[in-house]
Amino acid sequence: MAPKTLRRATGISSALLVGALALTGCAGGGGSEAPAESTGTLVIDQAFTAQSIDPATIFQVTDAITATGVYQTLFTYIGDDPEPQPLLAESIEANDDSTQFTVVLREDATFANGNPVTADDVVFSLNRLKHLQSSPAYRMDGVTVAAADERTVTFTTESPMPYFAHTLTATPLSIVDDETVRAAGGTDAEDAIDADTAGTFFTEPANGAGSGPYVLEAYDTNSQIVLVKNEDYWGEAPAYDRIVIRNVNNAQQQKANIEGGESQIALDIPGRIAEGMASDALQVQSTSSPEVLYLALSQADGAPTSDPDILEAVKLGLDYEALRTIVGAGAVPATGIIPTKLIGALPEDEAPKSDPEAAKKLLEDAGKAGTEVTFDFANDYTRLAGIDYNTLAQGIQSQLEAIGLKVALNPTPTSTSLQNYVDGSTQMAMWSWPPDTAAPTDVLVFSAGDLLGERVHWSAEAAPEIAALAETARTTGGDAGAEAFTEWNRLMNEQSPFVPLLEPSFYLVASSGVEQISHDPLATINLSQIR
């Protein structure tokens, strides 16, 4: 189907993407403004969740933050604006039913090694993501990419994707230099999962494979990650000579470091502490969360949590307001599994209701009082707005035991707890889902038969109405799509094995010397935009 006449704009809304459009590049540099002068070292304290800096395998928040300085995507978010803006791309054009997209690349973008960014690099990067079959590979499910010419890339999707420009902002879809990565053993062939040997190459200093304003100097998942400015960056000059991201798990230590001038940004100070830190020397920002803290109850055969009475009792037995009190400043009700800032969010009066007496009676009448449930959680995980998972888990245990369940806590380090959850071996687990984009399609991973649904053994066959609604929401734009997301969210509250607990607010504390910083729509930071 031939595209419509192009329309110029500065951002991409999901509604506009149903038709064809084009956007002029504005996010990455090459403008008429004078370059900013580099000014020393920026130190950022964060509780690490780091595992891989290879864009095709990035699935942790620390790595995603690091990648915003080293790598670039075709589109990005500027500040807290949730509409995608061109970065390595110059324009995007969609056909009428949002199944074919043509992306034109900007002419001036280069990798740190001096090679130009071309359509072949885009095809290689995204096919490598698909064929490595790591956790973020689902981003390319049903998507085919090809180079039409040196600067033009075409995407074809198996079903309509009205939010596709949002997908192109996701960190795992960062573009790497085809030539350099192939020389290091990388491949985009279908057997990449076995044949690709370039993984460790991405941790090598100044490997030149990214097009961002910084290059990697050191990468240690336990202590710190160091970036230095890309001297030959194609856009506006980097604001800092060096960026050091340090692994500081303790919120009080982050507070002491930034108050003492040892760091300039702290990312994990909880609201109950951060709200009292504002001064002439320090700025404090907060933003509502794009993610929901939730319980996941396994539906595996034989798991006690697969019993509908147990699932319903857990949902009714929790005192959601008390849990928010435990978390403290900034915690708000989770009205559903879709966060309140995204399309499809439910009003507060539709949030899960607490009725411990009804939950207790349900268990007694069904003869299931005393059922034993193992509760897995990460005992060292503080990335989610500084929430103390240990204290919160104890609160949940107390509430559920009050209705008649026997809850055994199983605290383990994040790496162990997450792997257990990924493997589908937990009975009840507490997690949150940090989205890669500001599109509500990211939350559909909770649906029956989807990524997180499979982790709790909840198949599409077990909830066909929910699975069908998810597909409608995924492939429909405009008001009809929004209505599908809302109804899906409502049914998830009623039927799913996921229990939304609360939405935290993320706080950011920065030195007043940091003149330009803000959370992006995903409540994280973009290193390339800090000034």
Q: What's the start-to-end Cα distance of the chain, in Å?
A: 44
β-pair partners for 499: 295
Residue 56 phi, psi dihedral angles, 5° rounding: -70, -10
pLDDT in tens, 309-353: 999 999 999 999 999 999 988 899 999 999 998 999 999 999 999
Sequence-distant (6+) residues with CB within 8 A of 520 are 77, 79, 80, 526
Cα separation, 123 vs 103, whole angstroms: 12
**How far is the C-alpha of 523 from the C-alpha of 293, rounded, in Å?**
14
Q: One digit per residue, pLDDT tens: the chain, 531 residues?
A: 333 222 222 344 443 333 333 343 445 444 333 333 446 999 999 998 888 999 999 988 899 999 999 999 999 999 989 999 999 999 999 999 999 999 999 999 999 999 999 999 999 999 999 999 998 999 999 999 999 999 999 999 999 999 999 999 999 999 999 999 999 999 999 999 999 999 999 999 999 999 999 999 999 999 999 999 999 999 999 999 999 999 998 899 999 999 999 999 999 998 889 989 999 999 999 998 889 999 999 999 999 999 999 999 999 999 999 999 999 888 999 999 999 989 999 999 999 999 999 999 999 999 999 999 999 999 998 878 888 999 999 999 999 999 999 999 999 999 899 999 999 999 999 999 988 899 999 999 999 999 999 999 999 999 999 999 999 999 999 999 999 999 999 999 999 999 999 999 999 999 999 999 988 888 889 999 999
Q: What is the pLDDT of residues 129-149, one digit of tens each?
A: 999 999 899 999 999 999 999
Q: How many angstroms separate the Cα of 340 from the Cα of each of 350, 478, 498?
A: 12, 18, 16
The encoded tokens of residue 74 equal 């075709």
Helices (H), 224-270: 251-259
